[in-house]
Structures are given as structure tokens and as C-alpha cells.
């Protein structure tokens, strides 16, 4: 298991956990970051926000937010 912002461009994973306070978890869930949802990293330059694709939508997240989302890489 790793965190969302550790994925490279084009890598796919499954969301397996959300860490943070109730406010963050509620907000992330409302954006579609729920357990067992597939997610693909679209853009991750190693600094600044990351861009991910999930549920037919592209979502930009700050690195701090992305670090609170646990994922399991597909095919690993």
C-alpha cells in the first residue's frame, strides 16, 4: 500500500483508505474518492498539485491532500 502522490504518470491504483479528519474524509468522499474506486495518475511532477482521473472526471489535488489517500497499485 502507498499514498496517491507516489504514483507516476499513467499508473493505476485502487483507493483503499482515507486518512485525516472528518472534514477531509467527507470532502474527499464527495469528490468521488471512496474505497475500491480505481484511480489513474494523469499528472505528477513531484511538486505542486497532482491531477488524477477517477469516475470519468479529472480532479486536481494538493500534495498534502493526495498524501492522505492510501492506494494499492494495480498489477503489483
| Segments forming the whole domain that contains residue 51 | 2-73
pLDDT at 76 over 60: no
| pLDDT score recorded for residue 1 | 85
Q: Give the tens place of pLDDT for each residue, 13-58.
A: 999 999 999 999 999 999 999 999 999 999 999 899 999 999 999 9
CB-CB contact of 37 with 54 (8 Å): yes
- Alpha carbons 63 and 46: distance in angstroms, whole number: 9
Instruction: Indicate the DSSP class of residue 7.
Output: P
- Alpha carbons 75 and 22: distance in angstroms, whole number: 31
Domain total in the chain: 1
Q: Element (H or E) spanning 65, and its range? A: helix 63-66
pTM, two decimal places: 0.92
- Which of 52, 49, 47 minimizes the C-alpha distance to 33? 52
Q: What is the CATH number of the domain that holds 67?
A: 2.30.30.90
Amino acid at each position: 500500500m502507498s499514498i496517491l502522490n507516489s504514483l507516476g504518470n499513467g499508473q493505476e491504483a485502487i483507493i483503499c483508505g482515507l486518512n485525516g479528519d472528518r472534514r477531509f474524509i467527507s470532502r474527499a468522499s464527495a469528490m468521488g474518492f471512496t474505497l475500491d474506486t480505481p484511480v489513474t495518475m494523469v499528472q505528477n511532477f513531484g511538486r505542486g498539485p497532482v491531477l488524477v482521473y477517477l469516475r470519468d472526471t479529472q480532479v486536481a489535488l494538493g500534495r498534502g491532500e493526495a498524501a492522505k489517500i492510501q492506494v494499492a497499485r494495480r498489477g503489483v
